[in-house]
Amino acid sequence: MALPMGATAPLVALSRPLAEFDPEMARAIGDEGRRQSEKLGLVASENFSSRAVREAEGTVLVNKYAEGLPGARYYGGCECVDVIEDLARQRLMAVFGAEHANVQPHSGAQANMAAYMALCKPGDTILSMSLPHGGHLTHGSPVNLSGQIYRFVHYVVNRETERIDMDEVEEIARRERPALIVAGASAYPRRIDFAAFAAVAERVGARLMVDMAHIAGLVAAGLHPSPVPVADVVTTTTHKTLRGPRGGALLCRREHAAAVDRAVFPGLQGGPLVQVIAAKAVCFREAAEPAFGAYQAQVARNAASLARAVQAQGFRLVTGGTDNHLFVADLRAHGLTGRQAERALEQAGILVNRILVPFDPEPPQRASGIRAGTPGVTSRGMGESEMERVAALIGEVLRAAGRGKEQLVQAVTDVGAAVRDLTGTFPVPA
C-alpha cells in the first residue's frame, strides 16, 4: 500500500497487511478457507456467502459507532451509515413484503430475545416447540436466558407422524393461555402451517412470533408459505438458507415497530455492527434476484433427493422425508449414536451434526440422530446426481462404523478420496 511521504510510525504500523503483521492468524484463516473448500459441508444451518457479501463486511465500516436508528443516532458522522442501514431495511422489507424491519440484531438469538422483549413482560407464559423435537435453545430452554426470564411451556411432535399436531398446540394453548406462541424450528423437516398457528393464537388471545431462521431463503423464494402476513413478529438469521453474513434481523407489523426497535437498542444491544448491516443489505439484494429463486428451488430438490437416497441406503428419516432444506436420520436401528455417526463422517470429510430425534432416549451430547442439509452444497453447484453419490458415501461410512474399527478405517480412506474428488470438482465461491 502506498503511504504518504514522511508517514508517521503509527500510520505505517496500522497499514501493515495481515499476512505481514500477524502471519499466525493469516495462516489460521487460510487453513479455515481450505477446510471449507476440501470438506463436504452438509451442516443444515451453514452456507457459503458471495464475494460481494464478504467484501461489504471487510470494510472501513468496522470503524463506525452508530447507536440509534437512521436519522436518530447518538453519534455524529452517521450520514453514510444511515444510507447503508436504510438500504438494508428497505430491501429486507421488500423481499418479504413486511411493514417494518430491524436489521441490527447481532444474531438470531438476539433477534429472538428482542421479539420476546417487544411482545412480553418478564414472567409471561410463552408456548414454543420443544428443543428435542426440533425447536431451538432460544425458544425457552432452561439453560438459555429466554427460559429464565419467561415461563415457557412446550408442544412436541406427534409420536406416530413426528409432525406438529395443531390440535395439541391448541389444547396446550387453551390450557396455558400464553401471551405469545412461537412457531419455527431448527430441526424440523416439514412445512410449518403458520396460518394455523395464527388462528390458534387469535382464538386464545396470544400474539404470534415466528422464527424462520432456517427457512428464510425458501420463504423469500416463495417455496415455503410466508409467516410475515400472519405473525406479529418474525425473526431470522441472515446466514443460513438466506446466504448472507452471520447475523440476525426482525420483521414486524407497523404496530410493533417502536417496541421491536426499542428492544434491540437500547434493550439488548449497543452499537450495531454496521459492516454486517452492509453485508446483510447485499444479501437482501441477492435475494431479490431471479437467480436466488432458482438456487432455493435447487436447495429443496437436492434435499429431497439426498433424503430419498439416504433412505434407500436403509436409514430411517424422521417424518419419512423432507419438504425443506434438511432432514434428520434416526440411527438407532444401526447401533450408532448421533455422536458416533457425526465423528465417523467427519473422519471421511463429510460434515453433519448430531441431533436429538423426537422422544430420544439419549442425552443431547450423544443423541440418536444426525441432521443434514443442502444449502452449502447447492451453493457449490452440486445437483441431484451428486446428492445420490453423497448418500452412497454416507451409507458406506455409517455401515462401516456400525461394523467396527477396521471397517471404518477402510471406509474413511475410500470415502475420503471420493469426497476430495467431489469437492475439487465443485469449488466454493471465490
Task: Kindly name the residue from 67, 86, 176, 388 that is annotated as catalytic.
Answer: 67
Minimum distance from CB of 336 to ligand DSN (Å)?
21
* CB of 186 or CB of 374, closer to ligand DSN: 186
- Measure the CA–CA gap between 402 and 405, rounded to whole angstroms: 9
* CB of 110 or CB of 298, closer to ligand DSN: 110
Q: Give the chain's radius of gyration (CA, Å).
A: 23
Cell of 428: 466454493
Verify binding: residue 186, ligand DSN, rule CB under 6 A.
yes
- Measure the CA–CA gap between 245 and 56, rounded to whole angstroms: 9
Minimum distance from CB of 353 to ligand DSN (Å)?
7
Task: Kindly name the residue from 65, 82, 301, 343 that is annotated as catalytic.
Answer: 65
Task: Please tell me whether residue 254 adopts helix, strand or coil conformation.
Answer: helix
Known catalytic residue at 67: yes
Q: Are 251 and 92 in contact (CB under 8 A)?
A: yes
Q: How far is CA 221 from CA 195, 239, 289, in A?
A: 18, 15, 10
The DSSP bridge partners found for residue 250 are 102, 235
Task: Please tell me whether residue 360 adopts helix, strand or coil conformation.
Answer: coil
Q: Are 51 and 239 in contact (CB under 8 A)?
A: no
Known catalytic residue at 240: yes
* CB of 45 or CB of 226, closer to ligand DSN: 45
Longest dimension (CA), the chain: 76
Q: Of 31-50, which residues contact ligand DSN (CB under 6 A)?
A: 45
As a dihedral over the C-alpha atoms of residue 53, residue 97, residue 104, residue 261, rounded to 10 degrees, the angle is 170
DSSP 275-302: HHHHHHHHHHHHHTSHHHHHHHHHHHHH
Minimum distance from CB of 139 to ligand DSN (Å)?
10
Minimum distance from CB of 373 to ligand DSN (Å)?
9
Task: Kindly name the residue from 138, 235, 237, 241 that is annotated as catalytic.
Answer: 237
* CB of 278 or CB of 355, closer to ligand DSN: 355
* CB of 68 or CB of 245, closer to ligand DSN: 245
Known catalytic residue at 319: no
Q: Of 119-158, which residues contact ligand DSN (CB under 6 A)?
A: 136
Task: Kindly name the residue from 211, 323, 330, 360 that is annotated as catalytic.
Answer: 211
- Measure the CA–CA gap between 256 and 119, rounded to whole angstroms: 8
Known catalytic residue at 121: no
Verify binding: residue 275, ligand DSN, rule CB under 6 A.
no
Known catalytic residue at 423: no
Minimum distance from CB of 137 to ligand DSN (Å)?
7
DSSP 194-251: HHHHHHHHHHHT-EEEEE-TTTHHHHHTTSS--STTT-SEEEEESSSTT-SSS-EEEE
Q: Identify which of 314, 375, 359 has the alpha carbon closest to the alpha carbon of residue 43.
A: 375
* CB of 360 or CB of 396, closer to ligand DSN: 360
Minimum distance from CB of 28 to ligand DSN (Å)?
22
* CB of 42 or CB of 223, closer to ligand DSN: 42
Closest residue by beta carbon to ligand DSN: 45
Known catalytic residue at 65: yes
Count of residues in contact with ligand DSN, rule CB under 6 A: 4
Verify binding: residue 324, ligand DSN, rule CB under 6 A.
no
The DSSP bridge partners found for residue 209 are 182, 233
Among 41, 68, 105, 108, binds ligand DSN (CB under 6 A): 108
Task: Kindly name the residue from 64, 91, 190, 240 that is annotated as catalytic.
Answer: 240
Which residues would be at the binding site for ligand DSN (CB under 6 A)?
Answer: 45, 108, 136, 186
- Which amino acids are annotated catalytic? 65, 67, 211, 237, 240, 246
